[in-house]
Amino acid sequence: MNFKRISVGEAQRIMEDVAAKNPPQTPQIVDIRDDQSYASGHMAMAIHLHNTNLQEFIQNAEFDVPLLVYCYHGPMSQSAAAYLAEQGFTQTYSLDGGYEAWKNRQ
C-alpha cells in the first residue's frame, strides 16, 4: 500500500502543517465523486478529478506536496489514492469516511 488512510482530524492537521510550513501552499485535494455531488458541495480548493482530466492533473501536479483523495464515504478513494501513489506522488492520503465525514466534522 503506497498511501495512508487518514481520519478527518489527521486531514485537518496535514492541511494546517502544509500551510504553516509553506504559506500560502495547501495540500493537493482531489474529489473523485460524480459531477452532481461535486457541484452540490466539496472541500475548499478540491479539484474534481475524473477520467477526462486525470492525465492533465498528473502532468501538472506537484509530486512532493501532500495529496488528499476523497470520495463519498472512503472506500473508492483508496483505489484512486493507490493509483496516484503508483504514479509517483510521495505523500498520498485517502480520507476515511470521505466527504460525508468531512461535511459532518465537529
Q: Out of 71, 81, 85, 95, which one is annotated catalytic?
A: 71
**Residue 71 a catalytic site member:** yes
- Judge whether 68 and 27 are in contact, CB under 8 Å: yes
In the three-class reduction of DSSP (H, G, I as helix; E, B as strand; rest coil), residue 56 is classed as: helix
Query: Angle CA(71)–CA(85)–CA(106) in degrees, nearest 5?
Result: 35
One-letter amino acid at 96 equals: D
Instruction: Give me the phi and psi of 47, to 5 degrees please.
Output: -95, 130
Residues belonging to the active site:
71
